[in-house]
Amino acid sequence: MIAELGHIALILALTLALVQGILPMIGAARGIGNWIALAPPAALGQAVLVAFAFGCLMYAHVTSDFSVLNVAENSNTLKPMLYKITGVWGNHEGSLMLWIFILAIFGAAMAIFSRNLPATLRARVLSVQGLIGVGFIAFILFTSNPFARVLPPPMEGRGLNPLLQDPGLAFHPPFLYLGYVGFSVAFAFAVAALIEGRVDSAWARWVRPWTLAAWCFLTIGIALGSWWAYYELGWGGWWYWDPVENASFMPWLAGTALLHSAIVVEKRDTLKSWTILLAILTFSLSLLGTFLVRSGVINSVHAFATDPTRGVFILIFLSIVVGGSLTLYAVRAPALQAVGVFAPISREGALLLNNLLLTVAAAAVLLGTLYPMALDALTGDKVSVGPQYFNTIFIPLMAPLLAAVAIGPMLAWKRGDLAAALRQLVPAAIAVAVAFAIGLLLLDGRSFMTLLGLGLAAWLAIGTLCEWALRVKLFAAPAAETLRRAKGLPRSAWGMTVAHLGVAVVVLGITVSQTWQVEVQQVMKPGDVAKVGPVEYRFLDVSPVKGPNYTARQGRFEVLRDGEVIREMFPAQRRYQQPPMETTEAAIRPSPIADLYAVIGEGDADRGWAVRLYWKPMVSLIWLGALIMAFGGFLSLSDRRYRVGAPARKRVTAAAAAE
Amino acid sequence: MRLTYLIPLLLFVLIGIGLAVGLTLKPREIPSALIGKPVPEFQLPPIQGHEKGLATTDLKQGAPSVVNVFASWCVPCRVEHPLFMALRRDGLAPIYAINYKDKPADVAKWLDQLGDPFTQIGADLDGRVSIDWGVYGVPETFIIDGQGRIACKHVGPLTDWDLDNKIRPLLRDLKAGRKSDVKC
């Protein structure tokens, strides 16, 4: 009964989404006030219905109603409650439900917060958002119904993939989808602006907070996914350039570019058609990611169970959304007039450079992701594109970008003075020299990549701090004056400083952990000691452990430093009953200095156990840095100008003066 | 000038056509396609100090057999190795091996040290034959029926549990000529 109610609510939501998608659009074109006014209530109604349907599915999962096929296939009575709830989105149908749930929430939020938008723009934005909803709800209803029943109902469910029974992964999809779906708002604004034929700084000011929020969520989502791969897969790595990872990384790269180009539109009223294109591309890449993950065109370690009809549906949907918006772009974008002109050396120029490098990077990732498929189609060869390709292409693109990040904010709008900016960055140059010296001192192999990474991290961190110091007149004015200026600094400026520092932290983490990581793989027997970098792991014993829905073999290690025991670690190998599957539970002791990481594999008392032991210096900084970036984004989001929506004219001037 | 605005659309059309073609391909079929199919045609030379290599004909002798893909540099192979010694003592079926990308001296030393449970070993120096077998990584173990068809494939090291619940029952079923309900 509950499942049927959910199904009906979903069908009603589809009809409401159709209303929201069609009538306001026509109303805005023909000037029919009543039809224009339909958009916000339709968006709110759709949100209520979708939330209700999502709640019904969750209820079926929580109560283990195995007469619902989706529950029978993915849940199990033994599963802990947390994973019964998060298991709702641990499968294809449920994750799509989460997707439209978040889409509907964004739609409702737009309806609520867009009161001071011009009426026609508001109607068109919500209408585009409604049409996206139509596509996804129809996709669920026609190809992936989560409410389908099974007769006779099985006594017990098949259970959730144990790899997904994990807090990191439980919250990874919601954040990821908040990011993907959040970019639909920027997309809706872009399409509406193309239809209206008008893009100005007010438009950019409306788009930016949504884009920023989506970007923050996506950053957290990707970081969570990478963290999960690090500790749950037990391979010791944190990024594999897997197609599914790339699917989330491409919109992030494009979204980062969008975030920065929207600043130019807002402040300088130029780069308009480019920003519109980026908004379209960012959401298109989110959709493309969905297609790649769910259609089975590419092979990946963590793609969903696939089905050709779903692939065909998404491809058609993709063609309509992306093809349609790009056609609109081709027709309307030439008419968008740039107002502000700027010299190559200027804040705009620096942001454009940022955009170019990020877009090329996104294109390179796309190429690497699609290449195996293209080659298969053309020659029938099966290949996979590995880290080698991505690293070769990525590092040369990121190095100049990171170098420019410190310089860009120092340049003035319109026409900047590079020499003056570089003079301000002398402390950063000194920091680079110190980083090189430390690197050369510690490094036997004198690896160029390590020096590059250390240098960039130092340059970026100190350069960002220099810019901040300049703003608050640190040491240049009395302390009281500096404090007053720091207090008066807009949150968006703080946000930028924090986010850029976050990037430096990520770069440092990647460089140090890649260079100085120590990995030991061997067969060990109880009592054996292995030297791993500056520490020693002593293998004590292995004992059986019983969990709620698994049994495990748990190893016990003592970690010694200079002969003293500093840690005990318990890596385990779990065998789940339902579904029958083994997972590796790496034992990890994170710390800012170095992570200790131990994995126990197959073996027995006579033969010994295959173990992998690591010493991973500063690897935690990678995720910490990502969180700092997201925090910077949220800080910027809390800026006054965004909170009050479209601010009064006077306030705009005040904010602009503070920049 | 207006034409430059068409570039994104044209690129997308190209990608879209590619994706449509991609939908008709099945990248996942490689591993599963081998189950129930005859083993690939191959002929491998022996490893250093052995007389016989391994070839397709060895696997079509009428009785079921086991083929293990291993390397001396592979730690999990070392872990599963005693299980093959045990299987050899059972005498249920001949155990063949494909030695994957190994140095001749290393594998000889490895077998001297740990014992040699294998009836015949083929040296796959460049890994070409293993690709035909659809091998992702070492170790992998195949069960072959008497007619030279792949009945089962196990990826990763065998455990006691696998040996008792998969390998041995399946070999017994194949020998008795009855339909097996062992899941691979």
Contact A338, A201 (CB under 8 A): no
* Rounded-to-integer distance, Cα A31 and Cα A573, Å: 66
Task: Give how far A610 is from chain B: nearest CA, Å.
Answer: 7
Which residues of A fall within a CB distance of 8 Å from B12?
284, 322-323, 326
Q: Are A298 and B19 in contact (CB < 8 Å)?
A: no
Tell me phi and psi for residue A567, to 5 degrees: -150, 155
pLDDT bin (cut points 50, 70, 90) of residue A445 is: low
Quick one: pLDDT at residue A251?
Answer: 96
Report the distance separating Cα B169 and Cα B165, nearest Å: 6
Distance CA B64, CA B95 (A): 10
- Comparing A74-88, A193-207, A440-454, the range with the smallest average pLDDT is A440-454
Residue A162 has pLDDT above 80, yes or no: no
Phi, psi of A612 (to 5 degrees): -125, 130
Look at residue A301 in the predicted model and tell me its pLDDT. 46
What average pLDDT is seen over chain A?
88
**A329, A373, A608 member nearest B5 (Cβ):** A329
Residues of B with Cβ-Cβ distance to A604 under 8 angstroms: 160
ipTM of the complex: 0.81
Interface test with A, best of B73, B75, B159 (most A CBs within 10 A): B75
Q: What architecture does CATH give domain B33-176?
A: 3-Layer(aba) Sandwich (3.40)
Q: How many degrees, rounded to 5, is the angle at CA A591 between CA A587 and CA A596?
A: 35
Most confident of A9-23, A513-527, B146-160: A9-23
CA distances from A374 to A229, A480, B15 (A): 27, 63, 10
Nearest CA in chain A to B82: A607
Give backbone dihedrals phi and psi of A596, rounded to 5 degrees, phi first.
Answer: -95, 140
- pLDDT value at B28 more than 60: no
Cα–Cα distance, A199 to A590 (Å, whole number): 48
Q: Are A242 and A222 in contact (CB under 8 A)?
A: no
- pLDDT score, position A601: 85
Q: Which range among A213-222, A270-279, A293-302 shows the weakest confidence by mean pLDDT?
A: A293-302
CB of A456 within 8 A of CB of A399? yes
Torsion of CA A201, A206, A208, A210, to 10 degrees: -170
pLDDT band at B68 (very low <50, low <70, confident <90, very high): very high
| pLDDT, average across residues A205-212 | 92
d(CA A592, CA A536): 19
Our CA-based measurement puts residue A311 at a distance from the nearest CA of chain B, in whole angstroms, of 7
Spatial neighbors of A130 by CB under 8 A, at least 6 apart, are A17, A18, A19, A20, A21, A22, A24, A39, A42, A43, A46, A107
List CB contacts (< 8 A) between B9 and chain A.
323, 326-327, 329-330
pLDDT cut 70: percent of chain A above it: 94
Picking from A138, A308, A381, the residue whose alpha carbon sits closest to that of residue B19 is A308
Chain A within 8 Å of B9 (Cβ-Cβ)? yes
The answer for residues whose C-beta is within 8 angstroms of residue B75's C-beta and 6 or more apart is A521, A522, A523, A601, A610
Domain ranges (residues) in chain B:
33-176
Tell me which DSSP letter residue A412 carries: P
CB contact under 8 A, A374 and B80: no
Task: Give Cα separations from A597 to A225, A231, A567, A589, B118 (angstroms).
Answer: 18, 9, 11, 7, 36
Given a contact cutoff of 8 angstroms between Cβ atoms, the answer to whether A225 and A247 are in contact is no
| B179 token code pair | 């339909």
Minimal CA separation from B81 to chain A, in Å: 9
- Which ranges in A63-91 belong to alpha helices (H)? 69-74, 81-86
Give the residues across from A598 on adjacent strands. A587, A613
The secondary element (H helix, E strand) that includes residue A198 is none
Hey, which bits of A165-315 come out as E strands?
none
- Secondary structure of chain B in the HEC alphabet? CHHHHHHHHHHHHHHHHHHHHHHHCCCCHHHHHCCCCECCCCEECCCCCCCCCEEHHHHCCCCCEEEEEECCCCHHHHHHHHHHHHHHHHCCCCEEEEEECCCHHHHHHHHHHHCCCCCEEEEECCCHHHHHCCCCCCCEEEEECCCCEEEEEEECCCCHHHHHHHHHHHHHHHHHCCCCCCCC
Judged by a CB distance cut-off of 8 A, whether residue A337 touches chain B is: no
Q: pLDDT for B150-163, tens place per residue?
A: 888 888 788 888 88
Q: Which has more pLDDT, A640 or A315?
A: A315
Q: Which residue of B has its CA nearest to A318?
A: B16
Phi, psi of B69 (to 5 degrees): -100, 120
Element (H, E) at A591: none
pLDDT at B30 over 50: no
Q: Which of B1, B6, B7, B12 to mutate to test the interface with A (most CBs of A within 10 A)?
A: B12
